[in-house]
Amino acid sequence: MKGSLLIISAPSGTGKTTILKKLMSDIEGTVFSVSHTTRSPRSGEQNGIDYHFVERDIFQKMCADDEFLEWAEVHGNFYGTSKTEITRQLNDGLDVFLDIDVQGARQVRSSEDLQSTSVFIIPPSWQEQENRLLKRGTDSKEIIELRLANARKEMSDAPSYDYLVVNDSLDKAVEALKSIIIAERSRQRRGPEGKPLSMPPMS
């Protein structure tokens, strides 16, 4: 059986990374998609595992060939998700996570090539989210203010997602996400007119 493509987005400071890390160790048959990027590898990053590191002209050719499910430019570097790569993983029966922001999610949802299910993780409150960003201790007050403003803006995309998971406790959020993944394996996929795409064979 083909796997599911799962978009996971969350405003920064929501605890997404912690949730996904715990989730991946709890459930089998799931993988992250490996993005293509034009930026240089950082120390310890491996080609094909952390990213597919490609030259700018290759990336631009892939873009022109409509090879990306979604792509974006961030600080002068390009990042993209290859359709071929994801299709191969889905055909292997793997559930593929796309850890992308609301703009990327919009591109993926509008794709006619691949069906996806989307999950938006939200913090229990703005106060809690500010506390989490402060606790990280990595950002200045100004950066935190900027992140919070961005988070509020991203929240306005939440209604477009299939599922909303509130991260009020790590265990509950992981259980909700795990349940969504398992439930999606039993969900009947439908074509454009609402007709089921396939039925499991009965012998």
Task: Give the binding site for a copy of itself (CB under 8 A).
Answer: 119, 122-123, 125-127, 155, 158-159, 161-166, 175-176, 178-188, 195-196, 199-200, 202-203
Distance, C-alpha 30 to centroid of its chain: 12
Task: CB nearer to a copy of itself: give 88 or 185.
Answer: 185
Minimum Å distance from CB 56 to a copy of itself?
Answer: 39
Minimum Å distance from CB 97 to a copy of itself?
Answer: 16
Task: CB nearer to a copy of itself: give 20 or 62.
Answer: 20
Q: Are 119 and 165 in contact (CB under 8 A)?
A: yes
Q: Specify binding-site residues for ATP.
A: 10-17
Task: CB nearer to a copy of itself: give 85 or 157.
Answer: 157
Helix (H, G, I), strand (E, B) or coil at 173: helix
Tokens of 155: 């929240």
Distance, C-alpha 90 to centroid of its chain: 15
> In 44-169, where does DSSP find H-type helix?
56-64, 83-91, 102-109, 126-136, 141-155
Minimum Å distance from CB 124 to a copy of itself?
Answer: 8
Q: Are 33 and 89 in contact (CB under 8 A)?
A: yes
Minimum Å distance from CB 93 to a copy of itself?
Answer: 15
Task: CB nearer to a copy of itself: give 105 or 122.
Answer: 122
